[in-house]
């Protein structure tokens, strides 16, 4: 179990894990294929902040310069006072050093927006079921959180400030508890999934197909949290690489990175017969079935996984909406899934696939988007490494695509390295 989070970049289509008070924030348009499950939207400015919000924001301003110290002290306090909770967390804690602070920032940004807090923390409460989090754990976390805040914000801390934080934590934790209880009535905390196929597409990219032990409902464009038997309690998010299938099988694309414990295990150690654990599906980088406009999809690396799933979904529903896929890569070898996409293009005249390879180390995707536009009437989907997402979004906005029409991975979460 984690305390707050950012999405980790184990690979282009992976996502870091939500932890206690994890912060998965929404991209401007909503969630992404890598989102804001998706995600928390930007707060709407309010003319007058509540007294509690003012006090909480004052505290956070004091804590920003010492964020690492605050999180380290919080975890130390939690594990000393409540050693039984240590087993709920991953063995290595370095990945989540910034998660508490990110979660607090989320609470601060939306302190007066009840609907956003309910949606965001309700989703987190449901996701925390897979850690074994129980209602009785929340008071311990709250006690140690207040202790850390009191220590490091001493110059602005007083009885009113503490009362404001207690009210905020009580409200948020109750949302998480209630959401988990409701979810427990309709869905398991996790699914076991046996690997039935493991295909190495390049020396560091594998395509895994798994069979869940029970029906697994999801939508194209969503993702799930995945745990391997080699790194228990370390969960990473991976996008589904295909639309829902009649045989119930699920496919993931995984790129091994040098510091990626989970990704390296999945690429170089996993094989048929190994059993993984999957959390519930989440994310809203999905397609509105009632829509009829064109789509422009921009993908790099294993970020092609959710884009391929979206294309397959449209094909299966015979939607016949015009779709342009820009598949970016550093080298020809990195276009590891191009044959599948070209096969889809041959079968569906509404689909155009455009491979785009960097030239002399310079990304060519922005230029390609400008060349083949305009896209101002299209829905845009962007998925891949952080730098590619930034350049892709900038290029789309630069040629007139409204921000609300662009869905993408949460860049601020992808930049945190995964293990």
H, E, C per residue of 102-143: HHHHHHHHCCCCHHHHHHHHHHHHHHHHHHCCCHHHHHHHHH
Q: How far is CA 3 from CA 135, 257, 328, in A?
A: 15, 24, 35
pLDDT at 392: 87
Residues with Cβ within 8 Å of residue 283, at least 6 apart in sequence: 31, 32, 33, 34, 35, 36, 37, 38, 221, 222, 223, 239
3-class secondary-structure state, position 195: strand
Do both 67 and 165 map to the same domain? yes
Low-confidence winner among 55-59, 115-119, 165-169, 215-219 (lowest mean pLDDT): 115-119
Question: If we measure between CA atoms, which residue out of 260, 218, 366 comes closest to residue 12?
Answer: 260
Is residue 202 one of the residues assigned to a domain? Answer: yes
Mean pLDDT computed over 45-74: 85
Mean pLDDT computed over 317-327: 91
pLDDT at 345 over 80: yes
Mean pLDDT computed over 386-410: 85
Higher-scoring residue by pLDDT: 404, 38? 404
Higher-scoring residue by pLDDT: 349, 114? 349
Higher-scoring residue by pLDDT: 366, 46? 366
pLDDT-derived band of residue 391, with 50, 70 and 90 as boundaries? confident
Do both 60 and 181 map to the same domain? yes
Is residue 387 one of the residues assigned to a domain? Answer: yes
pLDDT at 214 over 70: yes
Mean pLDDT computed over 365-371: 87
Higher-scoring residue by pLDDT: 173, 39? 173
* CA 117 distance to own-chain centroid: 17
CA distance 164 to 168: 6
Mean pLDDT computed over 233-246: 92
Share of the chain above pLDDT 70, in %: 83
Instruction: Name the domain boundary from 282, 304, 333.
Output: 282
Number of DSSP helices (H) and strands (E) in the chain, helices first = 12, 12
Do both 147 and 168 map to the same domain? yes
3-class secondary-structure state, position 10: coil
Contact 12, 390 (CB under 8 A): no
CATH code of 77's domain: 1.10.490.10
CA distance 214 to 95: 31
Q: Structurally, how many domains does the chain consist of?
A: 3
Is residue 30 one of the residues assigned to a domain? Answer: no
CATH code of 395's domain: 3.40.50.80
Instruction: Name the domain boundary from 124, 157, 185.
Output: 185
CA distance 204 to 267: 7
Mean pLDDT computed over 71-89: 89
Q: Tell me which residue range forms the domain holding 81.
A: 51-185
CA distance 171 to 74: 20
H, E, C per residue of 314-365: HHHCCCCCCEEEEEEECCHHHCCCHHHHHHHHHHCCCEEEEEEECECCECCH
pLDDT-derived band of residue 32, with 50, 70 and 90 as boundaries? very low
Top mean pLDDT of 113-127, 164-178, 262-276 is at: 262-276
pLDDT at 409 over 80: no
Mean pLDDT computed over 246-270: 94
pLDDT at 110: 77
Higher-scoring residue by pLDDT: 23, 117? 117
> pLDDT digits over 168-190, tens only?
999 989 999 999 999 899 989 89
Top mean pLDDT of 84-93, 179-188, 190-199 is at: 190-199
Residues with Cβ within 8 Å of residue 67, at least 6 apart in sequence: 98, 101
């Amino acid at each position: 179990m984690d305390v707050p989070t950012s999405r980790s970049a184990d690979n282009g289509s992976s996502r870091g894990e939500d932890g206690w008070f994890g912060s998965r924030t929404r991209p401007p348009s909503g969630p992404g294929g890598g989102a804001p499950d998706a995600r928390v939207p930007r707060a709407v400015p309010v003319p007058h902040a509540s007294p509690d919000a003012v006090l909480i924001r004052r505290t956070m301003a004091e804590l920003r310069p010492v964020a690492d110290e605050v999180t380290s002290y919080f975890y130390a306090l939690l594990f000393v006072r409540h050693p039984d909770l240590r087993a709920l967390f991953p063995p290595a804690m370095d990945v989540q050093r910034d998660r508490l602070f990110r979660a607090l920032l989320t609470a601060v940004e939306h302190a007066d927006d009840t609907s956003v807090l309910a949606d965001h923390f309700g989703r987190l409460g449901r996701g925390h079921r897979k850690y074994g989090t129980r209602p009785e754990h929340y008071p311990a976390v709250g006690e140690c959180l207040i202790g850390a805040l009191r220590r490091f914000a001493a110059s602005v801390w007083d009885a009113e400030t503490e009362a404001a934080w207690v009210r905020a934590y009580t409200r948020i934790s109750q949302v998480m508890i209630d959401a988990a209880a409701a979810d427990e009535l309709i869905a398991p905390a996790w699914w076991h999934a046996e690997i039935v196929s493991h295909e190495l597409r390049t020396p560091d990219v594998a395509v895994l197909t798994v069979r869940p032990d029970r029906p697994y409902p999801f939508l194209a464009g969503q993702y799930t949290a995945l745990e391997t038997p080699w790194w228990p309690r370390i969960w990473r998010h991976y996008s589904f690489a295909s639309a829902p299938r009649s045989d119930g099988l699920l496919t993931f694309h995984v790129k091994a990175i040098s510091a990626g414990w989970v990704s390296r295990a999945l690429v170089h150690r996993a094989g048929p017969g190994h059993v993984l654990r999957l959390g519930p599906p989440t994310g809203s980088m999905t397609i509105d079935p009632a829509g009829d406009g064109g789509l422009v999809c921009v993908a790099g690396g294993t970020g092609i996984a959710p884009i391929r799933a979206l294309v397959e979904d449209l094909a299966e529903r015979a939607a016949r909406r015009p779709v342009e896929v820009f598949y970016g890569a550093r080298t020809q070898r990195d276009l590891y899934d191009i044959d599948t996409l070209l096969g889809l293009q041959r079968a569906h005249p509404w689909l155009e696939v455009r491979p785009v390879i960097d030239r002399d180390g310079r990304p060519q995707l922005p230029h390609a988007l400008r060349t083949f536009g305009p896209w101002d009437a299209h829905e845009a989907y962007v998925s891949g490494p952080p730098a590619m997402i930034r350049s892709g979004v900038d290029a789309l906005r630069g040629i007139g695509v409204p921000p609300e029409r662009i869905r993408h991975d949460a860049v601020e979460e992808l930049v945190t390295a995964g293990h």
